[in-house]
Amino acid sequence: MRFNVSRLLREPVGATRAYRVKDRQGATDGIPSGQTDGTVSLLRTTAGVLVTACLSATMSDRCSRCLKPLDVSYEIDFQEEFLPMVDVHTGARLPCEDEDSFAIDEQQILDLSEAVRQYRLTARSMHPLCREDCRGLCPECGGNLNLGACSCLSSGGDSRWRALAELRNLAVGLTDREGGN
């Protein structure tokens, strides 16, 4: 999502532009591919351009429990000020007062890609689920427990926990005897 803002930067403070956007992003930096669409408003400020984005995004992902592919939908709403790197009238390089701010490049192109990528990353669920009651995969055979009980011969758990399980069983047995008297 790239916008040529050279005309907007030559206009007085308060000048606006509004755009309807639709963009397809590929997978980057661990973020799955997805579709983003919505509206973007640009407002000329004294320092640069204030971007207000109201976007709907759909991202391909996998359930964190059963690994089933799924599409996740979410909203991305943000406001960020983009600052020009060069003066639009003289072409002189402008001092960068805030290194963390988003920039308008030397050709007066405002590129929303990085801002959208960052907001997609923060909007993404850390543990997407295909459904709330997803049972996940069997830790022994890897079978999908949503399709029914697995048929593997489960060993009853990790052998490293056996001693602790025996202590628990002993404590439960003592509690049962005390409660029965």
* CB 53, CB 116: distance < 8 Å: yes
State the pLDDT at residue 179: 59
Calculate the alpha carbon distances from 142 to 100, 116, 147, 155, 166 in Å.
44, 36, 12, 14, 27
Helix H, strand E, coil C: the string for 74-105 is: EEEEEEEEEEECECCCCCCECCCCCCCCEEEC
Can you say whether the dihedral through the CA atoms of 58, 61, 64, 68 is positive or negative? positive
State the pLDDT at residue 24: 82
Query: Which residues, given as ranges, of the chain have pLDDT below 50?
Result: none
* CB 127, CB 134: distance < 8 Å: no
State the pLDDT at residue 105: 92
